[in-house]
Amino acid sequence: MKRSDLMSDFDNLVATKVAKDISKKFNDRLDEELNGNLATGYLNQKQLCKYLGISATTFKEKIKPLAPPTFVVDGMVRYKVDRIDEWMQQFEIWNDEYIPERSGA
């Protein structure tokens, strides 16, 4: 194997390692933000579920059919936190009779 091929392989290995490290740091920081409910920006479905405090199944069965505001870029689905917060406000209620766990239903 030529020296230039070895260097190219090494460069690719280093670039992959750096990219993974950056991705991990980004995801760790996002998790920190979500734990404090201070999330901003765009979330993937897993992060959105964590933000809303629901499971992926609940999202798929209950939330997704209600068509939350969604951004799709080259096949990547993202949810903007402030748009989700605005969208969720339409479900705010003021009367306890509509909350099944409070009305005994």
Q: Which residues of 73-96 are buried (b: 16+ CB within 10 A; e: fewer)?
A: eeeeeebbbeebeebeeeeeeeee
pTM metric for this prediction = 0.55
Task: Note the pLDDT tens digit of each residue in 41-93.
Answer: 899 999 999 999 999 999 999 999 999 999 999 999 999 999 999 999 998 87
CB neighbourhood size of 48 (10 A): 24
| Type of residue numbered 40 | T
